[in-house]
Amino acid sequence: MIRMDALMEKQYDIMDVSLLAGKIMLESGAETYRVEDTMMRIALSYGIEESHSFVTPTGIMFSIETDEPTKTKLMRISSRTTDLYKVSAVNAISRRISAGELTISAAYKELKSIQKAPMFFSFLIQIAAAASTSGCFVILLKGSWDNVLPAMLAGALAYFLVLKVADIVPTMFFSEFIAALAGGATAYFLFSLGFGSDLDRIIVGTLIPLVPGLLITNAVRDLMAGHFISGLAKGAEALLTALAIGTGIAVVMTLI
């Protein structure tokens, strides 16, 4: 009986490791099929021949089949960000588990430390990166050089607001709306002060860091892989984000 308990506990541990890996990946912006695949691979590496995972953007269901009754666990996912470092780190862990290099408890510990890992780049560097993309796009869209500086300033402000407002006001899409509003207003303000010559290109450059590129790409990937619920949900999120940005900029334009 004691052996049986130990065996059951081990199976629950395997589920915990799989679910934690899946949760980190999903919260960091991995594609649905990758999350499902990783979870089933981890379970398989620990000797669970048959497992089923059902992943949507808002929750994971995972069940394993053994000689005993099926065990199922559900995990709710409430926040999603983009952190590709975590996706690749969990992917590397999953590879090592498949190669038999990690025990269950070691894997769990490593995953926990990945989950807690802070962003690689400091906040300031991220803002600088946003400014750099905004500036680059003005040039890529055939704008002239005098538009680069206002786009960089407004783009940095917009990205700063997206990150900060989301912490203060948890309502979805509100931070994008505020960021587009403030970014557009700043761009117009700088333009009317005499910086730059082409307001349209400055505003497009400003908004580029806010574009939901990850969601669009993932939505398509998911749909094509047959994950219709995830694909539609991510598509809806991308569309609403785009609409929030559009509304923010529309408010600026009606005021001009």
Partner 1 sequence: MTIITNMLFSFLAAASFGIMFNVPKSLLLKCGTVGMAGWMVYYFLSENQVDPLLSTVAAAFTIALIGHIYARVYKTPVIIFTIAGIIPLVPGGTAYRAMRSFVQNDYNTAINLAAKAFMISGSIALGLILSDVLYQLILRRKVPASK
Given the rule CB under 8 A, which residues bind partner 1?
29-31, 34, 82-88, 91-92, 95, 119-121, 125-126, 129-130, 132-133, 136-137, 139-141, 159, 200-201, 203-204, 207-209, 211, 213-214, 216-218, 220-221, 224, 242, 246, 249-250, 253-254
C-alpha distance from residue 180 to each of 9, 100, 195, 254 (Å)? 50, 48, 19, 14
CB of 233 to partner 1, least distance (A): 16
CA distance 241 to 176: 7
Q: How many CB atoms lie within 10 A of CB 78?
A: 8
CB of 216 to partner 1, least distance (A): 7
C-alpha distance from residue 123 to each of 118, 154, 194 (Å)? 11, 17, 30
CA distance 8 to 105: 15
CB of 84 to partner 1, least distance (A): 5
Please say which residue, 7 or 140, places its beta carbon nearer to partner 1.
140
Please say which residue, 104 or 220, places its beta carbon nearer to partner 1.
220
CB of 89 to partner 1, least distance (A): 8
Please say which residue, 63 or 132, places its beta carbon nearer to partner 1.
132
CB of 114 to partner 1, least distance (A): 12
Long-range contacts of 62-67 (CB under 8 A, 24+ apart): 62/15, 62/18, 62/19, 62/22, 64/11, 64/14, 64/15, 66/11
CB of 221 to partner 1, least distance (A): 7
Q: How many CB atoms lie within 10 A of CB 74?
A: 11
Please say which residue, 220 or 232, places its beta carbon nearer to partner 1.
220
Q: What is the DSSP string of 11-63?
A: HHHHHHHHHHHHHHHHHHT--HHHHHHHHHHHHHHTT--EEEEEEETTEEEEE
Please say which residue, 56 or 218, places its beta carbon nearer to partner 1.
218
Please say which residue, 11 or 215, places its beta carbon nearer to partner 1.
215
> What single DSSP character describes residue 171?
S
Put residue 195 in one of left, alpha, beta given phi > 0 → left and psi -120 to 50 → alpha.
beta
CB of 68 to partner 1, least distance (A): 30
Please say which residue, 11 or 198, places its beta carbon nearer to partner 1.
198
